[in-house]
Amino acid sequence: QLCTFAQPARSRAGCSKAPHVAYHRWYRCDAFVRAAMRLLTHNMLVSNAKGVSEAEGYPLALEVTEHRREETEFDVETTRKTMETVRYDALRGAARAVAIDLPEVYDGDDEDVLRRVHEALCDVHIIEGCLVCPKSGRRFPINNGIPNLLLHEDEL
């Protein structure tokens, strides 16, 4: 069951569950589902676990329990420009987690490859799952499309 995102977090119109605090435990609020994490975001995230350097904490492994695909407009030049800042090896690994097979080597001149890269970067929305630090194994949850990389007090 979905509620309507119409008013501030504690009292949303159309919501049958009260009090409404950001999202329901048993019911997903459609406003938060829309704001799901994309693989483009995943490509920029690095572990901040104690004792893990930036090089050791990237890329985070992606474990997906729920995702959706929402087609967006494909533009060759925009995709090429975006790929200038994307680490392809990390994107390829994340794409495998959602059953998208990208070629071993990125070819920005091949429109079919660019379409598949665009699909992976922009059309896949991660709803639930977790990100895993490659060095420490620390798991960072993704709930309602929002990755939580906050450390617990004892991890600071």
Place 34 in a pLDDT band, splitting at 50, 70 and 90: low
pLDDT surpassing 70 at residue 75: yes
User: Which residues face 68 on adjacent strands?
Assistant: 125
89-96, Cβ contacts within 8 angstroms, sequence gap of 24 or more: 89/59, 90/42, 90/43, 90/58, 90/59, 91/39, 91/43, 91/117, 91/120, 91/121, 93/59, 93/61, 93/62, 94/39, 94/42, 94/43, 94/59, 94/62, 94/120, 95/39, 95/120, 95/124
Single pTM value for the model:
0.76
- Please determine, for residue 81, whether its predicted confidence score (pLDDT) is greater than 50: yes
Residue 1 clears pLDDT 50, i.e. is over it: no
pLDDT over 70, % of the chain = 78
pLDDT at 33: 44
pLDDT for the residue 154: 85
The angle formed by the CA atoms of residues 122, 126 and 129, to the nearest 5 degrees, is: 155
Band (pLDDT 50/70/90 cuts) for residue 70 is very high
